[in-house]
Amino acid sequence: PAIKYGWAHTKSLERAKIRALRLSGESFNSWFFPLSRSVLSDLYWWASHIQTSSNDIKKDYFDLIIFSDASLTGWGACANNQTARGWWNLGEQLLHINTLELLAIFNGLKSFAANLKNCNILIRSDNTTAIACVNRMGSVRHKTLNNYAQDIWNWCEQRNVWIFAANVSSKDNWQADAESRSLPPDTEWALSHHAFLLIVENFGNPDIDLFASKDNHKCDKFFSWHRDPAAEAIDAFTENWQGYFFYAFPPFNLVLRTLNKIVQDEATGIVILPFWKSQPWFPLFCKLIASKLLFFDPDINLLTSPFSNRPHPLAKDLTLVATILSGKPSA
C-alpha cells in the first residue's frame, strides 16, 4: 500500500459498503446507512493520515524470523533457537483452525518481539489462509479472521513494526509444530473467579500476579514461569517484589521459596496457600502474616484447569487460606 498500514483500515469500510448495498438492493443511490464504531475509527484514521503518511521501500532483510504453528489443543512458535508455546482455553478451543493459526502468529509476535520497534519481521507459517490474512491486512469475507488480523496489525502499527508472512513446509516447521502439540501441564490451575473476588473484597486489589499465564492470571500484569505472549517478565524469582502489592498463588512445591523471597525482598502482598500445618514452611508462613485469614473449604469448583475445567486432583480434601504476608522488619 502507498500509505503504511492503510490496507488494515479499509476492510471495515469495504464490509460496510457491501452490507449497505445488500440492504439497498444493490443501489448506490441510497444515501443513509448507520456507521459502526469500527468504520468511524477507520475513517478518523484516514482523515489524520492521508495527507502526511507514506511508506518505506520494502527491503528483503528481516530483523527477526518467527516460525509459528497451531493445533486444536495449543500453539507453538520459535525464533533464534528459542521456543514458546501455550494451550487454548475453553473459548479458544471453539475457534476454527484458520483462526487459531492467526492467534499462533500473534502469540509468536508477542512472545519474541514485544520489545522491538521500527523493524521488519518475517512470519513463517504452513497455513495459507493465515498467511493471506496477514499479508492482506485482514479479510473482507470472514469477519472473525479479519478481527484477529486487525489485532495483529494494530499491535504492529503501535510499534512501527512491519511483518510479512511466507509459507514454510510442515516438514521444515517441525519445531513450532511440536510445541503446538505438547500436552497441557498438570501444574496449571485457575482459582475460581468467585474466590478471587472474595480475596479482593477482603484484602484490596493487587498490582501483579506473580505466578500465572495468559490463561489463568488474576491481574492485568503478571509474571509467567515460561515465555508467555502477555507476561510482564519470565520467572518471578528473578524480579524484585518490593515495589508491588502482589498476588501470589505459587505451585505447592515452591511455597517455601516464595516465603523466603518475600523476606529477602521485604515485600508485601496477598498470598494463597494450602492450609498444611505439618509442612516445614508453615512456621515461617505464620510469622509473616499481616492480616486476618480467609479460608476456602474443599470444593471441586475452587481449582480447575483453564484448558478443560477439570477439578484439581486434591479438590475434595484441599483447604486453602488467603492472607496478606509481609517481609518488612517489624518496628
Question: 150, 181, 212: which is the final residue of a domain?
Answer: 181
* Pair (195, 250) in one structural domain: yes
Residue type present at position 271: V
| CATH number of the domain where residue 254 is located | 3.40.50.150
Q: Which residue has the cell 517489624?
A: 330
The reply to whether 41 falls in a domain is no
* Pair (211, 303) in one structural domain: yes
* Pair (272, 253) in one structural domain: yes
Distances (CA, A) of 246 to 69, 114, 167: 34, 23, 43
Q: What is the pTM of this model?
A: 0.82
Q: In total, how many domains does the chain have?
A: 2
Question: 112, 146, 181: which is the final residue of a domain?
Answer: 181
d(CA 117, CA 138): 22
Query: In terms of Cα–Cα distance, which of 119, 90, 43, 84 is closest to 228?
Result: 84
Q: Three-class SS of residue 211?
A: strand
d(CA 229, CA 149): 16
Q: Three-class SS of residue 60?
A: coil
Contact residues for 21 (Cβ-Cβ < 8 A; gap 6+): 27, 28
The whole domain housing 301 covers 190-326
Question: 136, 153, 181: which is the final residue of a domain?
Answer: 181
Reading the chain (331 residues) residue by residue, the pLDDT tens digits are 678 888 888 888 888 888 778 777 777 666 666 778 888 888 888 888 887 766 676 677 899 999 999 999 999 999 999 999 999 999 999 999 999 999 999 999 999 999 999 999 999 999 999 999 999 999 988 999 999 999 999 999 999 999 999 999 988 999 999 999 987 777 789 999 999 999 999 999 999 999 999 989 999 999 998 889 999 999 999 999 999 999 999 999 999 999 999 999 999 999 999 999 999 999 999 999 999 999 999 999 999 998 888 999 999 999 999 999 999 987 4
d(CA 146, CA 123): 18
